[in-house]
C-alpha cells in the first residue's frame, strides 16, 4: 500500500514539475512575442503584460524550487515569495492602468497581440486548472497558490485581449485599464491572504 502511495505521489510530482516547466517555457517565449507586439503597436498594455510574464516566470521558478525539497520552512518561504509576486502584479496593474487612463494613451491595432493573448488566456486557464488539481492531490499549498497566479495571468491575458479587440473594433482605448483594476483587486486579496497566513 505504501509503495502504491509513493508511486502515486511520484507521478503527481512529475505532473507538477511538467505543469511548471510548461508555464515557464510559455512565458519565456511570451516575453519575446509581447516585446515585438508592444513595440509595433506602441501598446502600454502589451508591454505591461510582458512584465506580468516575468512575474509568472519568477513564481514558476519558486514552485520548482519548492517541489524539489521538503519541509514547512521551505513551503513558508515559497508562499511568501509567491505573495510577493502577487504584490508586484498589483503594483504593476495600479500604475499601468492609472497612467494609461491619465494620459489617454491610444495604442495602434495589434493583430499579433490579439492572437497571442487569446491563445495565452486558454493555455493559462488550462495550466491553472491542472495545478489546482495536482496541488490538491499532493496537499501542496505552494502549487495550489501558484496556480492562482497562473489563473490571474489568464484573466489578465483575457483583459488585455478585450482591450485590444475593443480598441481595434470601436476605438475604445480605455477598456483595458478599466478591466485591469478588477484584476488588481483580486491580486491584492490573494497577497493579503498569503501574508496573513490564510493559505
Per-domain residue ranges of the chain? 2-195
Angle at 156 (CA atoms; ends 36, 49), nearest 5 degrees = 25
Distance CA 140, CA 119 (A): 28
Contact between residue 104 and residue 172 where contact means Cβ atoms under 8 Å apart: no
The answer on pLDDT for 48 being more than 90 is: no
Distance CA 141, CA 139 (A): 6
Contact between residue 81 and residue 149 where contact means Cβ atoms under 8 Å apart: no
Angle at 90 (CA atoms; ends 76, 183), nearest 5 degrees = 110
What is the three-class DSSP state of 197?
Answer: coil
Residue (of 17, 28, 53, 21) closest to 152 by Cα position:
53
pLDDT in tens, 100-149: 888 887 778 899 999 999 999 999 999 999 999 999 999 898 899 899 88
| Mean pLDDT computed over 84-92 | 85
Distance CA 69, CA 67 (A): 5
Under the banding of pLDDT at 50, 70 and 90, the label for residue 198 is low
Distance CA 72, CA 66 (A): 10
CATH number given to 2-195: 1.20.1510
The answer on pLDDT for 33 being more than 80 is: yes
Distance CA 119, CA 180 (A): 19
Angle at 152 (CA atoms; ends 151, 157), nearest 5 degrees = 100
Amino acid at each position: 500500500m505504501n509503495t502504491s502511495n509513493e508511486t502515486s505521489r511520484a507521478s503527481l510530482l512529475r505532473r507538477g514539475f511538467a505543469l511548471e516547466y510548461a508555464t515557464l517555457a510559455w512565458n519565456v517565449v511570451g516575453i519575446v512575442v509581447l516585446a515585438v507586439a508592444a513595440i509595433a503597436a506602441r501598446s502600454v498594455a502589451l508591454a505591461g503584460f510582458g512584465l506580468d510574464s516575468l512575474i509568472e516566470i519568477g513564481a514558476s521558478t519558486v514552485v520548482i524550487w519548492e517541489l524539489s525539497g521538503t519541509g514547512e520552512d521551505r513551503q513558508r518561504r515559497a508562499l511568501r515569495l509567491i505573495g510577493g509576486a502577487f504584490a508586484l502584479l498589483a503594483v504593476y496593474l495600479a500604475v499601468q492602468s492609472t497612467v494609461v487612463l491619465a494620459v489617454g494613451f491610444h495604442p495602434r491595432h495589434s493583430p499579433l497581440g490579439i492572437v497571442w493573448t487569446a491563445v495565452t488566456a486558454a493555455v493559462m486557464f488550462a495550466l491553472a486548472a491542472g495545478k489546482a488539481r495536482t496541488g490538491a492531490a499532493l496537499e501542496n499549498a505552494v502549487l495550489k497558490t501558484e496556480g492562482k497566479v497562473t489563473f490571474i495571468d489568464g484573466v489578465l491575458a483575457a483583459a488585455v485581449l478585450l482591450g485590444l479587440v475593443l480598441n481595434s473594433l470601436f476605438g475604445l482605448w480605455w477598456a483595458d485599464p478599466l478591466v485591469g483594476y478588477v484584476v488588481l483587486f483580486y491580486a491584492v486579496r490573494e497577497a493579503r491572504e498569503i501574508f496573513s497566513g490564510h493559505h
